[in-house]
């Protein structure tokens, strides 16, 4: 006599078998979150992170090998046929060989087709590529400012924080250059988009210096100073120290000026030695301090302290 299994038991066995089946499915059957996307516009691919890194390594300029490109094309063909966004992007990249000195017009056209397919799915990396392509007329294409601007807006919408920051920085550049027929030169727009970019990458030194420089052009030195001090560029900090010491662009503050220079000088001494020999920065903080004491008479010997250079000669 057969014993009937309880329904709950059958359900448990079914669940376990399902889990085991899914666990042993080939990697290509799984779906992985595509990197670089805004969470609101997430995309999924059958190419996992490890595969993505391995495939990207094929495009290393220093290790470029055309045979590896051909192997890549073959390996990703199933993903292309499945209309996988990363597969389409990689296939396009494998056809985009002008940067490596191997490009042909026919391949470039195929690359454009598949970059566009991936971009139409909202893949930020493909949209970014097409922005550059139409901005600079790459791959034998004519420059098209309208298309470039459209793809830039799409990158900002679909991309993650890094893509958004770079996109807003590019928008700032368009409004700054005045060379585009699509947007008019406007410093207020430059500031607006730089500050938008900095909301996504607040510690980006290049963006901070760009914003500071733009405020400096607008003669808003107080605002420029706040961005310069956030930068990781010691020359930006030295500039602020000079402003504070001179008291022409911002309110004079000798103590703050010296505090900035002391900190920078101590950091640089650890790398370049006591006299900062070999330091190639635009302004040498050790020289500034000695110049302010010996030549300008702006600070005292006590304030110069350990940074005194007995060999310093005024010009």
HSE, CB side, 13 Å, CA atoms: give it for residue 50.
2
Q: Looking at the domain 29-158, which fold is it?
A: 1.25.40
Domain parsing of the chain, residue ranges = 29-158, 233-315
- Could you read off the pLDDT tens digit of each residue along the chain, which spans 315 residues? 444 444 343 333 333 333 323 333 334 456 899 999 999 999 999 998 888 888 888 889 888 889 999 999 999 999 999 999 999 999 999 999 988 888 789 999 999 999 999 999 999 999 999 999 999 999 889 999 999 999 999 999 999 999 999 999 999 999 999 887 878 899 999 999 999 999 999 999 999 999 999 999 999 999 999 999 999 999 999 999 999 999 999 999 999 999 999 999 999 999 999 889 889 989 999 999 999 999 999 999 999 999 999 989 987
Question: Of 83, 42, 76, 80, which is closest to residue 59 (Cα–Cα)?
Answer: 76
What's the predicted TM-score (pTM) here? 0.82
Nearest-angstrom CA–CA distance, 41 and 48? 18
Question: Of 143, 98, 91, which is closest to residue 117 (Cα–Cα)?
Answer: 91
């Amino acid at each position: 006599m057969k014993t009937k299994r309880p329904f709950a038991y059958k359900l448990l066995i079914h669940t376990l078998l399902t889990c085991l089946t899914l666990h042993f499915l080939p990697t290509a059957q799984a779906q992985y979150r595509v990197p670089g996307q805004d969470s609101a516009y997430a995309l999924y691919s059958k190419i996992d992170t490890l595969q993505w890194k391995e495939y990207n390594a094929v495009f290393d300029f220093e290790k470029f090998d055309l045979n590896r490109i051909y192997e890549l094309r073959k390996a990703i063909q199933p993903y292309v046929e499945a209309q996988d966004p990363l597969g389409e992007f990689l296939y396009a990249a494998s056809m985009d060989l002008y940067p490596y000195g191997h490009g042909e017009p026919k391949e470039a056209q195929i690359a454009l087709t598949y970059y566009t397919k991936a971009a139409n799915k909202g893949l930020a990396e493909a949209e970014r590529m097409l922005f550059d392509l139409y901005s600079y007329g790459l791959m034998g294409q004519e420059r098209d400012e309208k298309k470039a601007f459209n793809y830039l807006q799409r990158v900002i919408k679909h991309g993650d924080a890094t893509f958004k920051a770079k996109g807003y920085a590019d928008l700032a550049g368009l409004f700054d250059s005045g060379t585009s027929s699509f947007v008019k030169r406007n410093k207020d727009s430059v500031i607006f988009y730089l500050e938008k970019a900095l909301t996504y990458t607040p510690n980006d030194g290049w963006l901070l210096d760009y914003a500071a420089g733009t405020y400096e052009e607008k003669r808003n030195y107080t605002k420029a100073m706040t961005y310069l001090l956030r930068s990781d560029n010691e020359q930006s900090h030295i500039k602020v120290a000079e402003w504070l010491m001179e008291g022409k662009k911002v309110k004079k503050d000798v103590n703050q000026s010296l505090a900035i220079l002391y900190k920078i000088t101590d950091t640089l001494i650890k790398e370049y030695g006591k006299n900062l020999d070999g330091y190639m920065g635009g302004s040498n903080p050790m020289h500034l301090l000695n110049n302010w004491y010996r030549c300008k008479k702006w600070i005292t010997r006590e304030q110069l302290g350990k940074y005194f250079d007995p060999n310093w000669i005024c010009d």
